[in-house]
């Protein structure tokens, strides 16, 4: 995945211990956590990229299968979701 839209935000927010800059999920987690604070905001293009990454991830069949297995009770409460 290309993080060009987030390059400045990554250098500003994610260059710290515990963030593996070679791992897409680690970068996304860092950016998502940073984007949820009032003191650190993401550039609009970066925010859009993080959103698209998460959307694509949740549409993957492996994610859906895991959700059905581990969230069965919660999903059963929502009509039409299973």
| Res 18: pLDDT | 87
> Tens of pLDDT along 29-50?
999 888 777 667 899 999 999 9
How many angstroms separate the CA atoms of 14 and 30, rounded?
A: 6
Model pTM above 0.85: no
The least confident of 3-12, 43-52, 72-81 is 72-81
Handedness of CA 16, 22, 27, 29 (dihedral sign): negative
CA distances (Å), origin 18, targets 1, 15, 21, 33: 20, 9, 9, 13
* Residue 41 near residue 76, CB atoms below 8 Å: no
Share of residues in the chain with pLDDT > 90 (%): 54
Q: What residue spans define the domains of the chain? A: 4-76
Tokens of 45: 């293009």
| Res 2: pLDDT | 85
How many angstroms separate the CA atoms of 58 and 55, rounded?
A: 5
| Res 31: pLDDT | 92
């Amino acid at each position: 995945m290309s993080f060009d839209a987030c390059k400045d935000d990554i250098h500003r927010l994610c260059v710290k211990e515990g963030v593996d800059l070679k791992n897409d999920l680690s970068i996304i987690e860092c950016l998502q956590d940073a984007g949820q604070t009032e003191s650190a905001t993401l550039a609009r293009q970066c925010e859009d990229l993080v959103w698209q990454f998460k959307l694509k991830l949740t549409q993957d069949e492996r994610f859906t299968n895991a959700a059905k297995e581990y969230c069965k009770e919660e999903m059963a409460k929502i009509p039409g979701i299973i």
